Copies of this chain bind each other. A is one copy, B any other.
Amino acid sequence: MKKGQLTREMILSRAAALFNTEGYSKASLSDIMAATGLEKGGIYNHFGSKEQLMLEAFDYAVRQGGARIKQQVDAQPTAESKLCAVIDAFATLSQESPVPGGCPVMNTAIESDDSMPELKERAKAAMQRLLKFIEQIIKDGIAEGEFKEDIDAAESATLLIASLEGGLMLSKLFSSASKTRPLQTFWKNEIRSWTRRRKQ
């Protein structure tokens, strides 16, 4: 990879962290300069405006987070364990994550008023992809005979994600993961209840 590409990636990763922790409008170019060690011109060589950098950094953050989840999910054999992997991924998100600052989609959903419509659009799309991803896991579980057939995949996905994002918000607010531990066990139990018990 060429040097310019590396710099570009470096800027994206630092900027994504900054945007995700401080907020897209609050993080200034000066902050990004400080975080990257580059001067103003150096950044503007790669991104024509703060807005463009914001958008690409958001995509970067979503990509990183999504990849992490996908990888952990793929390592699991059953639908139930896949969903548990999602729960665990969200649980660790508040303490340690590929892009610091929690879930970029939620952060953007809350921050982006209508003055950054493109960003909101991307957040919508990312969230929809996440929901579809969960939904598909559930549907696969049903198709495989692992989950009962009366589970509504779409609704359950929404429910699970809402809970996880809300829990993540609480963790962030209280700077502590303890509040959300029960939430994880609740959902793991709930998901187990979706399975066709063979014996037990």
Contact = CB atoms under 8 A, between A and B. Distances in A.
A172 interface: yes
Contacts of A183: 158-159, 162
A169 B110 contact: yes
Contacts of A23: 23, 25, 111, 113
A179 B158 CA distance: 7
Given A25-B25, A113-B23, A120 B163 contact: no
Contacts of A164: 166
A191 interface: no
Contacts of A182: 152, 155, 158-159
A166 B103 CA distance: 12
B173 A167 contact: no
A33 B135 CA distance: 46
Contacts of A109: 169-170, 172-173
A105 B166 CA distance: 12
Contacts of A186: 155, 159
Nearest to A21: B113
Contact of A163 (B106, B113, B163): B163
A86 to B, nearest CB: 14
Given A159-B182, A180-B158, A113 B26 contact: yes
Given A158-B179, A166-B166, 16 more contacts: A26-B113, A26-B115, A105-B173, A107-B110, A120-B173, A127-B173, A127-B174, A158-B167, A158-B180, A158-B182, A159-B163, A159-B186, A162-B166, A162-B167, A162-B170, A165-B169
